[in-house]
Amino acid sequence: MSIEVNNLTKIYKQKKHQKKIAVDNISFTIPGGEIVGFIGPNGAGKSTTIKMMTGILTPDNGSISINGMNFKKNRKEIMLKTGVVFGQKSVLCWDIPVIDSLKLFRDMYRVPREVFIENMDAFIAILGLDEFIDQPPRLLSLGQRMKADLAASLIYNPDVLFLDEPTIGIDVLSKERIRHFIKKINEERHTTIILTTHDVSDIESLCEKMIIIDKGALIYDGTLPQLKSDYRTTDLEEIIKKIYLAGEKRYEKIC
Amino acid sequence: MRKYADLAMIGIKEHTAYLSSVWANFLAKVVYLYMQFALWNALFASNKGSNIPLSHNETIRYIIVATIISTFMECDVIGWINGQIQSGDVANQLIRPIDYKFMIFARHIGTSLARFVIYTIPLMILICIFYNGELFCKKQLACGILSIILAYMIQFLYSLIIGLMAFWLIVTWPLNMLLAAIYKLLSGSWIPAAMFPELLTKINMFLPFRAIYAIPVTIITTPMSAESIRESLSIQLFWVVALFLISEAAWVVGKNKLVVQGG
Ligand SMILES: Nc1ncnc2c1ncn2[C@@H]1O[C@H](COP(=O)(O)OP(=O)(O)O)[C@@H](O)[C@H]1O
Ligand SMILES: [Mg+2]
C-alpha cells in the first residue's frame, strides 16, 4: 500500500501557552512495497509523524492518505492492514503470556487458521519465538520483547509496517536477525515498511529510500545512492552528521 | 465475537496475575463487611432506631447486599485509562481495528467475571454460614438482577467518562480522589441512601450515583410496589442512555485532544 502525506502539521501545547511545532508542514509519498528510512535527530518529530500516520494522533493540519483511504472514513480498514512496533513501548499485554496476545490479534484481525499457523512457524524458525512464547512480556529481555512485538505486528500480514526505533538497545546478533527478518517480510509480502532508527547500519542494510526531517521540517526525500552522490561520499554516518550539524547552525541563526 | 472473548479472558488473567493481591482484596472485603456490621449494630443498640428511616434488620441486609454487589461491580476502568494515558500505552489500543470503548468494556467484563468467582461466591458462602435470615426479597429477585445489570452499565459508563477526561487533562488523580469520595457516599455503597439528610437526597435525585447501589440494593432487600420498581428501573434506564450519549461525546472530543506521552 502506498502512503501519501500532504502538508502535515502537529503542534503540541506545552506549559504556559507555549506551543511547540513538532511537525511543520511536511509532504512526501511512499510507494507500496518499499522500505523507507525515516531519519532525524532526537526530537525531530519522527515519532509524532508516525503517530499521525497510524491514526493515533489527529493532525492539526494536512492530510494522510493510505492507498487512497483516510482515517476519518476508513479507520477500521486501515487499521486492519497496518502493523506498528514502538521500540520504546511494547504493544503486548504486559502481564499476559505472549501467545495469548498473539491469539487475541489473530481473532481481532480475522487471521485464517492456516495463515496463523504458517506465520507462527516462520516466527519460531527465524525469531526463535518458541523460547519465550509462554512468558509475559514483563519477564522478557529487551531483545526477546522486540521479537515478540515484531511477531505480534506481523501475525496478521499487514500491508504497511511502521517500525519506530525497533533496534534500540539490542545486541548485534539479535539486531542482525531482526534486520534479516524485516528484509524477508518485505521481499516476500511486499510490505511497505517505514523505519526510524539512529543506527546507520540499519539504514545501510535495509533502506532504498530515505526521508530526513529536522525540527519538524523535511530536509531530504530521495534514494540512498542519490544522497551519497550529492555529498560525494559513501560514508552515510558522515553525511547524516553533516545534515544534523547544518540544522543546528540554521537554528542558532534564527534564535 | 471471539476477539471480545479473548479480551475478557485477558481481563481475567490480568486480574489473577498477582495472586497475593487477590488474597489481600478478599480479606479487605471481609474485614470491611465485618466493620460495617459492627458499626451499625452498635449504632442501633445505642439509638433504638427512633429517628432512622430503616429498621436495624433492613440496614444490615442493605449493607450485606451492597458489599456483595461491590465485589464484582467495582472496576478499575478509570485507573486503566489514566494509566494508559500517562504511560502512552493508549497508542497500542488506538491502532487496533476495534473501538477503544469496546475493548475496555470487554476487559472490564472479564475482570468482573474473575471477581465474581474469586470474591463474590466465597463471600456469599461466608455470609450464608454466618447470617441466618432472609437476605433477599425473593419475589423481586428477577427485577433486582435486571437492576444490577443496569447498574453495572451505569457504573461502567460513568467510569468511562471520567477516564476519558484524562484524554485532555492528562493528570486527573486529584479530580479522581474527589469524585471517588462523592461516588462512594452518594451511590449508597457505604451508607444506605434512605438515611441521607433531605438536602443530600435532593441533590442525589439529579445525579446518576444512586442508580449504581441504592436502587438495585433496595429492590433486592426491601419489599416494594410494582409501580415503584418500575419507576426505579426507568430511572436507571434513563441514566444508561444519558451516560452513553455523554460518553460518545467525551470520546469524540477526547480523541482529537489526545496527546500520546513518550517518544
Ligand atoms: N506529549 C508531548 N507534549 C509536548 N511536546 C511533545 C510531546 N511529545 C513530543 N513533544 C515534542 O515534540 C518534538 C518531537 O518529538 P518526537 O516526535 O517524539 O521526536 P523524535 O521521535 O523524532 O525524537 C520534541 O521536541 C518533543 O519535545
Ligand atoms: Mg521518537
For residues A179 and A205, the answer to whether their CB atoms sit within 8 Å is: yes
Phi, psi of A73 (to 5 degrees): -95, -40
Mutation probe of ligand 1 site: the residue of A47, A197, A248 with most atoms within 8 A of C-beta: A47
Domain range list for chain A: 1-64+71-81+160-169+191-255
* Other CB atoms within 10 A of residue A249 CB: 9
Place of cell 456469599: B124
The CB-side HSE value for B206 (13 A sphere, CA atoms) comes to 4
Q: Model confidence at A254, in pLDDT bands (50, 70, 90)?
A: low
**Fold annotation for A1-64+71-81+160-169+191-255:** Rossmann fold (3.40.50)
Do A84 and B6 count as a contact with CB atoms less than 8 A apart?
A: no
pLDDT above 70 for B50: no
Q: How far apart are CA A110 and CA A250, in angstroms?
A: 50
DSSP letter string, B77-117: HHHHHHHHHHHSTHHHHHTSSS-HHHHHHHHHHHHHHHHII
Mean pLDDT of B246-262: 84
Per-residue pLDDT reduced to its tens digit, A8-29: 999 988 777 788 899 999 999 9
Give the gap in angstroms from C-alpha A209 to the nearest C-alpha of chain B.
23
- Judged on CB neighbours under 10 Å (0-12, 13-18, 19+), B258 is buried
* Contact criterion met (CB below 8 Å) for A51 and B91: yes
Task: Provide, as residue numbers in chain B, all residues whose Cβ is less than 8 Å from the Cβ of A57.
Answer: 258-260
pLDDT of B38 higher than 60: yes
Q: Which of residues 85-104 of B touch A (CB under 8 A)?
A: 87-89, 91-92, 94-98
Taking CA atoms, B32 is separated from B75, B111, B185, B214, in Å, by 17, 21, 15, 18
Give the closest residue (by CA) to ligand 1 atom 1: B261
Q: Widest CA span of chain A, in angstroms? A: 59
Q: Do B215 and B239 contact (CB within 8 A), yes or no?
A: no
- Give yes or no for A12 touching B (CB within 8 A): yes
Domain residue spans in chain B?
2-257
The pLDDT score that the predictor gives to residue B258 is 80
Q: What is the mean pLDDT of residues A49-77?
A: 92
Q: What is the distance in angstroms between the CA of the first residue and the CA of the last residue of chain A?
A: 41
The answer to whether A51 contacts B89, with C-beta atoms less than 8 Å apart, is: no
How many whole angstroms from its chain centre is CA B26? 16
Quick one: cell of B166? 484524562
> Which numbered atom of ligand 1 lies nearest the CA of A42?
23
Residues in Cβ contact with B9 at an 8 Å cutoff, skipping those fewer than 6 apart: A100, B110
Confidence at residue A227, expressed as pLDDT on a 0 to 100 scale:
87
* 115-154 of A, contacting B, C-beta below 8 A: 136
Confidence of residue B253 (pLDDT cuts 50, 70, 90): confident
Pocket of ligand 1 (CB under 6 A): A 12, 14, 20, 22, 40, 42-48; B 259, 261, 263
- Its ipTM equals 0.85
Tell me what pLDDT residue B263 has: 59
Closest CA in chain B for residue A136: B17
Q: Rounded mean pLDDT of chain B?
A: 88
Q: Are the CB atoms for B12 and B114 separated by under 8 Å?
A: yes
Q: Do B17 and A107 touch (CB under 8 A)?
A: no
Tens digits of per-residue pLDDT, B185-203? 898 888 888 888 889 899 9
* Binary contact (A104, B13; C-beta < 8 A): no
Q: State in Å: Cα A155 to ligand 2 middle.
A: 24
Which of B176, B3, B179 shows the shortest CA–CA distance to B81? B176
Query: Per the CB < 8 Å rule, is A89 touching B98?
Result: no
Taking the C-alpha atoms of residue B169 and residue B179, their distance in angstroms, rounded to an integer, is 15
pLDDT at B4 over 90: no
